[in-house]
Amino acid sequence: MRALPIAVTVLAAALALTSCDGGGSGDSSGSGKSGDTAGSAKKAAAAVCRIGDEGIQVGPANAATAAGDTGNVPVTLTNKGAQCTLKGFPVLSVQAGGASADIVADKSAQPEQLTLAKGDTASFTITYVRGAAGDAKTLAAKTLKIGLPGAAAAQSFPWSYGPLAGKGSAGEPNASMTPFQHAGD
């Protein structure tokens, strides 16, 4: 029965090693903060998704065909980089020449934090009302800019779904977006 004393010795050594504070980098105040790798791993896992690491597909859309009609434009992101998180809503704006207007979040929607591994997909939907061409309250959008929450960079995509009706002016489009949600299987 020599295996029992060896197992006890190995267990005692393992317990002694786990009680070490990592070479003096820990917090001796008893606050529980330390320089351990578990805390570092959590921070690394919580990296914000960057637009350059995402493959983005805009559409195909259920486009509004006439002024006053409502259309929906799905946007799908595929993570091509390391694991990252999305929390909140995308940052969206539409542009027409020198004019730009933000698309706001759907106020009834509650965003969740999504963790995307490499190859995972997430999506959101833009819902808009088509405006009448030439109307002062309509923005003749040509470009959609997409940014991710917590990141500064954005990418531009063609807007080919017609002019956007304004709520009170062309600078306040009658459009909204849903939060991110997991897409696919």
What does the pLDDT look like over 11-24, one tens digit per residue? 333 333 333 333 33
Name the DSSP letter for residue 45: H
pTM, rounded to two decimals: 0.73
| Residues whose CB is less than 8 angstroms from the CB of residue 49 and which lie 6 or more positions away in sequence, other chains included | 77, 79, 81, 84, 85, 86, 116, 148, 151
CA proximity to 94, closest of 166, 31, 33, 26:
166
Measured CA to CA, the distance from residue 71 to residue 87 in angstroms comes to 25
The domain made up of 51-183 is a member of CATH 2.60.40: yes
The predicted structure's pLDDT at residue 123: 96
Q: Give per-residue pLDDT as tens, 128-167.
A: 999 999 899 999 999 999 999 988 899 999 999 999 999 9
Beta-bridge mates of residue 181: 123
Q: Which residue has the higher pLDDT, 69 or 52?
A: 69
Average pLDDT, the chain: 80
Alpha-carbon span 72 to 93, nearest angstrom: 15
Higher pLDDT, residue 179 or 21: 179
CB 126 within 8 Å of CB 75 = yes
Who contacts 144 (Cβ-Cβ below 8 Å, separation ≥6)? 58, 92, 93, 94, 126, 156, 157, 158, 159
CA distance 35 to 23: 9
- Name the nearest CA neighbour of 116 among 39, 56, 40, 29: 56
